[in-house]
Amino acid sequence: MRPAHPAGDQRSSQRAGPRRVLAALCLTQIVGWGVLYYSFPVALPAITTDTGWSESSTTAAFSAALLVAAVAGIAVGRIIDRHGPRWVMTLGSVAGVAATLAVAAAPSVGWFAAAWVVAGIAQAGTLYAPAFTALTRWYGPARIRALTALTLVAGLSSTIFAPATAALLDHLSWRQTYVALAVLLAVTTIPGHALGLNATWPATDHAARTRLRNGHVRAVATSRAFVCLTVASALTAFAMFAATIHLIPLLTDRGLSMTLAAWALGLSGAGQLLGRIGYAPLSRRTTPRLRSVLILTAVAATIAGVGLLPGPAAALVAASIVLGIARGAFTLLQSTAVSDRWGIAGFGTLYGILNAPTTIAMAIAPWAGSALASAVGSYPAMFAVLTATACVAAVVAAGTTTRSQRAT
């Protein structure tokens, strides 16, 4: 009889736990982003046509969800740091299902907004911020590989759900469409988080506990590098998400059909895969500050390309894909910016602080983009302003070197 190898079995079990976590999060992020985010811009015309609610008030309800997610995300990060993500993300999924059903049943725009506020709590508890915290802690030094895998898969969310939501709306009312999406959210994300995130949460080591007791989070959050990182991230997110949300009206103004414009938005999501594939080799060859400047400059250039290109349709679709590539790289840049500079001690709390202004920028982007387009007279002019905003972000990103990195 061959001797048992408990140590080897334990190591195999330890590896299997994070792998199971990654698989679960890949599924839940696709569905979570698809239902709680990407379905809205596709369903918006049907909602306003059926209800008579104004586009501005309906969009404001969606923006309220993102504002709530920004505020709640700080507390969520702190809880995950201490207790792990399993029950936070499971309860967030339950809230997401309830919110989606409430959206479908909303009798007035006020109730519609209240439903999206609940959806904001669900977003804070289920989308990228808690997922990034979970993988950063579970994978440690191998986190870039895990984060890349997650964002590669989750990047398909818009590719899947923009056309899928449009297809549902071809056969169902918008209310029935949201009921169907709620059912899908329930059967995938609730069991996915409850059963898939049951690996042992890594204990904080002695060095990290000492740093946290010595005010590590406060020291980092008030440092010049962190403030610059937060400002650059928020400006980029505003420019990028305003461009993405208003991609369909820009393209239809250029003469594309609504269907082709929706496919361009979906393919822009697919373009994120290329940006994320290229991030790992870029991270091995550049410092955190240099790649921040490079990626934010690329975001500015691609927004300019989409906004200024007059046609033809194939070129506009191609430009939309390139915009997605830059967006994909930015997602990984943001997810690793804290750990690359300050390690993983207190990561959930610090990422929540970093992500709050970014999420607020995403929240105001739909409304502010529309207001900006009205103020400057056209969508191409709006995209020019967004380009300038992204350029400012790239300049600010030059100030994100920490003291220890300057010393070396």
Q: What is the pLDDT of residues 137-164, one digit of tens each?
A: 898 888 888 998 998 888 788 778 988 9
Helix axes 86-105, 55-83, angle to 10 degrees: 160
For the record, the structure tokens of 93 come out as 């999924």
Q: Which pTM value belongs to this model?
A: 0.78
Q: What is the DSSP letter of 312?
A: -
The pLDDT tens digits for 90-99 are 999 999 999 9
Predicted confidence (pLDDT) at residue 13 exceeds the cutoff of 60: no
Residue 327's closest CA among 269, 246, 387? 269
Percent of the chain with pLDDT over 70: 91
Predicted confidence (pLDDT) at residue 207 exceeds the cutoff of 80: no
The pLDDT tens digits for 324-345 are 889 889 988 988 999 888 888 8
For the record, the structure tokens of 117 come out as 């506020």
| Number of residues assigned to the chain | 408
Percent of the chain with pLDDT over 90: 47
Task: Please state, in angstroms and rounded to a whole number, the distance separating the CA atoms of residues 143 and 336.
Answer: 8
Task: Please state, in angstroms and rounded to a whole number, the distance separating the CA atoms of residues 192 and 127.
Answer: 13
- Write down the pLDDT at residue 379: 86
Residues 294-323, mean pLDDT to the nearest whole number: 88
Residue 53 CB neighbour total at 10 angstroms? 17
Mean pLDDT, the chain, whole residue set? 87
The pLDDT tens digits for 246-297 are 888 888 888 788 788 878 877 887 787 888 888 888 988 899 999 999 999 9
Residues 111-134, mean pLDDT to the nearest whole number: 95
CB 335 within 8 A of CB 151: yes
